[in-house]
A and B are shown apart, each in its own frame.
Chain A
Amino acid sequence: MFVKMFKRRAYFIANAVFLLTWLTYFLMLFSHPFIGVNLERNNNHWTVTNTDPYGEGYKLGITAGDRVISIDGISTEQFPSVKRWSEVEGANYIELESSTGTKKELILPKPGITETLSEELPMSLLGLSFWLVGFITWVKRPFLVQARSLYWLNWAVGMAIFLASASSRDFILARELEAFFFSLVPSLLVNFISVFPKVRKNTLNTLSIKLLSCVTGLVLISSLLKVVGLLWITNELRSLMLIGAIVGSLIALWNLIELILLPDHKPEKNQAIIVLIGLAVGLLPFAIFTAIPIVVNEIPVLNPRISALFVASVPIIWGYVIVNKYLPDGKRLLELMLIYSFAGLIAAGFLSYLLVVLRIRNSLNLGVYLLMLLIAMLMFLLLNLIELAVHRITGKVVFTTQQEFRKKVDELNESLASINEEKMVSQIVNELDLEGVLLIAEDDQGWYLQTAAGRFLEDLKEQELLESVYFKAKNRVETAEFMPADCPAEVFVKFHSESFLCGIFLGHRCSHVKFQNWELPELTALCNQVAQRVKASHDISRLSRDINGMAISILETQQKSHGLRNINKSLFRTLEEGKKALAREIHDGPLQLGLDVSRRLKQLSEDLAVHPEKNDTLLTMIDLIEDLNYELRSVCTSLRPSSLNDLGLISAVEAMCQQIMLKELLVISLEVQSVARDRRFTEECELGAYRFLQEGLNNVIKHSGASRVEVGIELFEGNLGLLIRDSGKGFDVTKIDDWVVSGTHFGIIGMRERIKGLGGDFSIQSKLNQGVTLQARIPIK
C-alpha cells in the first residue's frame, strides 16, 4: 500500500520537478544570451579556440585565436565559467585582444524576447513534448511496465534536451543537471527496451543497466565534486557520458534487431519495426539535413533547431505503440518509407544535375544535392497530403460512384428477401446492371443446382463454358477472383460451407466499366449472402424430405399398432368364446348327466327306504354326485357367468358382488347410476365391463388388504364409466410400464389392453398407502 502510494507519488513529484525546472530555466533563458566561445589556457593566457556560429560571441566578431583579457572586469582566471568550463558564458562585458594585437571591448546585449523565443523555443518544446508523451502514455496505461519505463525515459530525455540551452548559458546547476540527466538516459533506454514490447530481462540487459547506472553515478559524483570545486576535469566527463550514450544505443539497437528477427506472426516484431520507423523518422532528418553537412563542413540545409523537432516523433510513435494493441503493418510502412526515400534520392539527383546543366549552380556538391533531396521529400509530403484531401473531397462530392455502388450492394444485401435462387439471381442482374449471373451449387450427396439470369439464361453455350470453368476453379479459388478477359463472366465468387459448395459468376457490367479491386469484397459478401440462402433453402428441403419420411413411417407404425390392437381384441374375443363354449360344454354334458343321475338315485333311495342296509351306499353316492354337480356349477359360473348373457351386466355384477361378499371379508358398495337393471349392451361391451370389474375386484382381494371397496357403474354420453376404488395399500403406478416389459402382473396390463381394444380409456391412480382407483370408459356402440 505504502509502496503503491509512494510509486504514484513518485510520478507526481517527477511531473512537478519537470515542469518547475522547465519553467525556471526557460524563463532564465531571457536573462542572458548564449555566447558560445570556447577557451583554452595557453601560456598563461586564455585563448579562444572556436566560436559557435549561433552564439552571440561569433555575432560580435570574436574569432579563434583571440585572447581574453578580462570578463566583467574580473581577470579571466577568476571568472567562474572560465574557471570551470573554459567558457565565457554569463559574461556581460568582455575585453579581448586579437591575434594581431588589436584590443576589443565587447558589451553583450540583453537578448531580445522574439529572438530568444525563435531560437530556444523549439528545443524547449521538444523537451516538453518528450515528457508530455511519456506522461500521456503513463496516464493511459498506468499498469503497463512498458508505459512506466517509457515515462521515465522520456522524463530524463526531456530534461536533458531542454537543459541543453540552459547549460550552454552556464546557468546555475544547469550543466550538472544536464550531465546527470544525459548520463541517465542510456540506462533508462536499455531499461525501456528490455521490457518493450515484452519483458526480456536477460543478462546482457541487466548487466548493461547496472553498468550504465554506474556511469550515471560517476557523472553525478564528479559533477558534485566540480560544483564544490574539488575536481576540474571537463573533457573526460564528456567522454564518459558519450561512451555511456553509445553503449546504451548499441544495446537498444541490438534488442531491436533481435525483435525484428522474430517470426512474422509475433506481434513483437511489428511493434519493433514501428519503433524503428519512429527512430528513422525522428532522427534521419536531423542526421541527413543537419549533421552530415556540418560534418563535411557545409552549411546545414536545415537549421538544427528545426530538424531536431522531428525527434519528437520518436516518443510519439513509441507511446502510440505502447498504448495501442493493434497496429498498422510495420513492414508496409517501412516499404512505403523506402519507396519514398529512393524516389527522393533519385529525384534529388536529377534536380541537382538539372540545376548544374541550367547553370543555376556552378558545381554539383553535397549541399545542393541535399537541398534538392529536402525539396523532393517536401514535395512528396505535399503530394500525399493533397492526395488525401482530394480523396476525401471527391469521395464526398465529385465521384459518388464508389459510395453509390457500396450503397447499392448494401441495399441489395438487405433486400434479398427470397430464398428462391432464380429470383435472387435476376435481382442481382437488375440491381447491379450486370449482363448476367450464373449460380452453381452442389453438395457431396450428388445434389446439383444451376441457375442463370440475364445473358447467360439464353446463351446455353456460355453456360456450358462457365460450368467447365466452375469445375476447374472450384478447388483453386479461395473466395473470389477476377476472370480472364476472354471469359463471359468477370468475377467468380466461391462459397464453401461443410459439404455445400456454391460458385457464382458475375457477368460484365452493362456499362462496360470494369469491376475494381475495391469492389470485390462487397461483391463477395453479396454472393456469400446469396449462397447462404441457397444453402438454407437446400437444407430446408432436405429436412422436409426427412420429416415426410418420418411422418410416413409414423403412419405405418400407427397402422401396425392399430392392427395389433385388432388382433388383441379378437384374441380376447376368442378367449371368451372358448370359455363360453367350455362352460356350455360342461353345463350341457357332464352337469346334466350328473343332475339326472342324482335325481334318479334320489328316487331309488326313496323307493329303497324299506331296505336301509342298501340305502347307505346309495346316500353316499347321492352326496358324491351332488358334490360333483356343485363343483361343475362353480366351474361354469367362473368360466362364464350365464347370467351375464341372460340377465345383463348389472344383474351379473350384482351377483358377482354378492358372491364375493359371501366368500371374502370384503364389503362392496355397488353404485349404479343412470343404468336400468335390465339395460343391455353389446356382448363385447358387457363382457369387457364385467371382466374389468372382476379383475379389479380380484386385485383388491389379492393385493389391497382393504375391507371396503366402492364399485361404480355409470352411463354418460354414450359411454359406460366403471370405477373401483379401494382404501388399501396401493402401489407405485410408475411401475406399470415395467410390468409390461417384464410381463408380470398380466391382469392389469390385459385389462388395459382389453379396454383400449374396445376403443375406451383405462386409468389407474394410486399412491403407496392411499388405495387404488381404477377407472375405465367403454363406448357402448
Chain B
Amino acid sequence: MVCIDSTDKKVKVLVVDDHVMVAEGTVLLLATDPGIAVVGTAKNGQECISEVKAKKPDVVLLDINLPDICGIDLVDKLKEINPEIKIIMLTGQNPQEYITVSLDKGAQGFLLKDCSKNEMTQAIFTVNQGNVYFSQSMGIFLRSAVISKQENAEREQIEGLLGRTLTGREQEIMNFVAKGLHNKEIAAQLGIKTRTVDFHVSNILLKFGVSSRLEAVLSWTQGDKK
C-alpha cells in the first residue's frame, strides 16, 4: 500500500499462533496485501524455530502465549538464528507486563490481536524498515512501560500522539480521581464505559509523566494552584 520494500520485494512474514483460527485469519488478512508474503505458520515454539530456519522470514508475528514456550523467550532463540530478523509480539492478553521485556529482548513491535488489517500491515512495514511499532489501541497499556524506561524517543512519540494538556473529558475525569473515586465509579458517574475511563486515566498519567494515580492527583492539584 504505502510503503513497499525498497528492494521491491515482498516482505516475508511468518505467523506464529497456537490458535489455528486466529493464525488462519491473520494469514487471510495479510494475503490481500501485495507487499506481504506469508511464508508459513507455526503452532508452537518448536515449529517456529524450524520454520524460521527453513523459510528465513523477514518478520515474525509472534504470539506471546505458546503451549511449549513463552513467546518472549523465543525472541532470543530467533535472534540467535538470524540477528536481523524483525519480531512483532502479538498478544490477546493484557500486554503491559510484556512490553518492556519484549523490547529488552529485541522485539521491534507489539500488536494486540484484535488490531485491524491496516494496522497489522503498517506494523509489518514499519518494523521491516528497522523502526519500532506499537498497536494504536495499546496506549492504555503502553504508558507505564515507557515511563519506566524513560526512553526519550518513545516518550516523544507518545507525547506527540497524545499532546501535553488534558482534554476537557480528561479534566472532568481527573476531578473525580482527585476525589478518590475508582474508575468504575467514575464510569458510572459519567455514564461511559470503564474501559474508556481506564483509557483516559492512563493517558492522563502519561501526560503528567507519572506512574501512579496519586502522583497524578498531586500534579493535578498543584497545577490547579498555579
Give residues in A with beta carbon < 8 Å to B.
587-588, 591-596, 598-600, 602-603, 606, 625-627, 629-631, 633-634, 636-637, 641-643, 645-647, 651-652, 654-655, 658-659, 661-668, 707
Contacts and interface: CB of A to CB of B under 8 A. Distances in A.
Contact of A595 (B22, B29, B101, B193): B22
Contact of B215 (A600, A643, A664, A667): A667
B95 to A, nearest CB: 9
Contacts of A641: 97
B124 to A, nearest CB: 15
A599 B205 contact: no
B25 interface: yes
B183 interface: yes
B96 to A, nearest CB: 6
Contact of B213 (A626, A643, A664): A664
Contacts, number: 115
B93 interface: yes
B113 interface: yes
Contacts of B198: 630
Given A599-B116, A707-B214, A642 B25 contact: no
5 contacts: A599-B29, A602-B117, A643-B97, A661-B214, A665-B217
A275 B159 CA distance: 126
B219 interface: no
B44 interface: no
A659 B96 contact: yes
Given A599-B25, A606-B118, A646-B72, A663 B213 contact: yes
B25 A637 contact: no
Contacts of B65: 587, 642, 646
Nearest to B113: A595
A31 to B, nearest CB: 129
Interface residues of B, number: 42
Interface in B167-213: 177, 180, 182-183, 193, 195, 198, 201-202, 205, 211-213
B217 A662 contact: no
Chain B interface mostly: helix
Contacts of A602: 114-117
A658 B96 contact: yes
Contacts of B96: 655, 658-659
B77 interface: no
A665 B214 contact: yes
Interface string B47-74: 0000000000000000011000010110
Interface in B63-119: 64-65, 70, 72-73, 92-94, 96-98, 101, 113-118
Given A595-B92, A595-B113, A626-B195, A667 B97 contact: no
B21 interface: yes
A663 B92 contact: no
A652 B73 CA distance: 16
Which residue of A591, A630, A659, A666 has the most chain B CB atoms within 10 A of its CB atom?
Answer: A630
Contacts of A626: 114, 137, 195
A629 B217 CA distance: 29
Contact of B94 (A637, A645, A654, A707): A637
A643 B193 contact: no
Contact of B144 (A629, A652, A658, A665): A658
A633 B92 contact: yes
Contact of B93 (A596, A633, A668): A633
A327 to B, nearest CB: 96
